[in-house]
Chain A
Amino acid sequence: GAVVSQHPSWVICKSGTSVKIECRSLDFQATTMFWYRQFPKQSLMLMATSNEGSKATYEQGVEKDKFLINHASLTLSTLTVTSAHPEDSSFYICSARREADNEQFFGPGTRLTVL
């Protein structure tokens, strides 16, 4: 199956700092990638759709100036959490959609803890 990687696996940072999370599709090209956030014991909530070469599409209630998304190539999307605060602590998961069969492949997730 197709592989999607995320880096880092976990990060602990101080309140007010910015954190960048990378999502890579390793063996296929992905025009579209997605970013999800999951709080404990809750479902995955879609934050934004990342489109290669164009601006990301954010879901209602997600601050685009706080969660910066860049999709500069067909295999890489990045999510930057700017001025992170403790309430941003969560499990961030990306997925990449394979165009051939519309299947989405998920990265292993990044656990962000903001102190």
Chain B
Amino acid sequence: QQPVQSPQAVILREGEDAVINCSSSKALYSVHWYRQKHGEAPVFLMILLKGGEQKGHDKISASFNEKKQQSSLYLTASQLSYSGTYFCGTAGGATNKLIFGTGTLLAVQP
């Protein structure tokens, strides 16, 4: 089943923070985060593995709570380049295939 993301869409001013949540009904082995610009393929942001992992790069970080089967992506001091649709991808089961979440549209305005 497809992971559910919240919010569906968010509008920010440059410099503001945002949190995007991803929730799955199935047990997870890993969570992947991607950003997609209009008309382009998704771009990999980061992967989180089991065990309460947290990870970050520049001003984007993420956490993974395997017990709650949830992950959150944190965008700090947002920049115009952060605009796009963010997808979480959850992997689990024998095949470890990646199932994408419902997506969150993020628009950063000047």
Contacts and interface: CB of A to CB of B under 8 A. Distances in A.
A108 B30 contact: no
Given A34-B98, A102-B47, A43 B2 contact: yes
Contacts of A101: 47
Contacts, number: 47
Interface stretch (A12-20, A44-52, A63-71, A73-81): A44-52
Contacts of A43: 2, 87, 100-103
B67 interface: no
Interface string A12-49: 00000000000000000000001010000011111001
Contact of A104 (B95, B98, B101, B102): B98
Contacts of B84: none
B97 interface: yes
Contacts of A49: 95, 97
Contact residues on B (Cβ < 8 Å of other chain), bracket: 20 to 34
B100 A46 contact: yes
A64 B77 CA distance: 46
A83 interface: no
B65 to A, nearest CB: 20
Instruction: Report which residue of B44, B47, B87, B96 has the largest number of chain A beta carbons within 10 angstroms of its beta carbon.
Output: B44
Interface of A: 1, 34, 36, 42-46, 49, 57, 93, 95, 101-109
Given A34-B98, A43-B103, A93-B42, 4 more contacts: A45-B100, A49-B95, A49-B97, A102-B91
